[in-house]
Structure formats: structure tokens, C-alpha cells
Structure 1
Amino acid sequence: MRFVVILTPDEEGGYVAECPAIPGCISEGETLEQAIENIREAIAACLETIVSHGWELPKETDVLVTTVEVPLPAVVS
């Protein structure tokens, strides 16, 4: 399954990773790669719990989220 994952730099270093499709599915890592691997494992564990309880699976998504940098326009005085 494919899910959107949000990665946010942590103030104390490293990254926090969360999966909005699965409330409470959050992890962290010292590097982006580690945070991604950890959230992948957290999602798998959450899915196992969901399936074992017979709950409805969250919807997967093909949405990709990224950031873009845009220069500020010159201030007109």
C-alpha cells in the first residue's frame, strides 16, 4: 500500500515522521532515511493491528507532496 508521510525537522535534531491516513502513526529518526524506515515499520505495525481487529483499512494514496522555493517579490514603496 502507498501512503503520504509527512517528515518534519525536529527542534532537537533528526526528523519526526507521521502518516496522516493512520491517526497516531508517528515515528522519528536521526536522519531522513532512518525516519522513513521507522515510519514504514510503524505503518506496517498499525496495519497489522487494524487487520487483526477487523477494522477498515485506511485509503492508500498516490498524492505526492513536496516543497518549492519562491522568491519574494520586490517591495514597491
Structure 2
Amino acid sequence: MSPIDVLIEVERLEEGGYLLVCEAIPGCHAEGQTVGEALDNLRSVAEAIYELSVEQDLEFMPEHADATPSRIRWLIPQAEPT
């Protein structure tokens, strides 16, 4: 199966670190001190949401009925040049 491209919103937090939000997966967001750490945490959150959705017979990704976390290719927007 082909990967599913999922765009992530990245927000730099005032207190330090980053917040990543994945609109394609309801409730999927995570924080970390670096973007990489936040992305690792986001992957873990996506796995947990997927497991719950399977257990409770809910949609994991409403726009992709056959989606699983292993098929997701996380896309992080490039920073604007300053």
C-alpha cells in the first residue's frame, strides 16, 4: 500500500519547545523540546489513537478508511526564509 501524506502544523511555544498538530487525525497533537522529539511523540500519540479506534470501532483518519500509522508519511512544512 502506498503511503498517506499527512501535513503537520508546527508551532514554536513561548516557553520553549514545539507543538505539532495533525488535523487529519482527530485529537492528534504532541509537544517536545525539539521538532524531532515532538514528531516522535506525535507518532506515539497516533499509534495510541489508532489502537483506541480499532478497539472502539471508530475511524482513525476520517478521510482515509484504510489508514494505519505505519502508512503515514509525516510532512513538516519548511520554514520561510528570513
Do they fold alike, i.e. is TM over 0.5?
Answer: yes
* Kept in 1: contact 2:8–2:77 (CA 8 A): no
Q: Which runs of 5+ in 1 are unaligned?
A: 72-77
Normalising by structure 1, report the TM-score: 0.71
Matching residue's letter, 2:48: A
Higher RCO (CA 8 Å, separation ≥ 6 residues): 2
Higher percent of residues as strand: 2
Larger radius of gyration: 1
User: What is the RMSD computed on CA atoms of the aligned residues?
Assistant: 2.6
**Which stretches in structure 2 are left out of the alignment for 5+ residues?**
none
SS in 2 for 1:55: coil
TM-score, length basis structure 2: 0.67
Question: In the aligned structure 1, how far is the partner of 2:74 from the partner of 2:38?
Answer: 19
Q: 2:17 aligns with which of 3, 14, 17?
A: 14
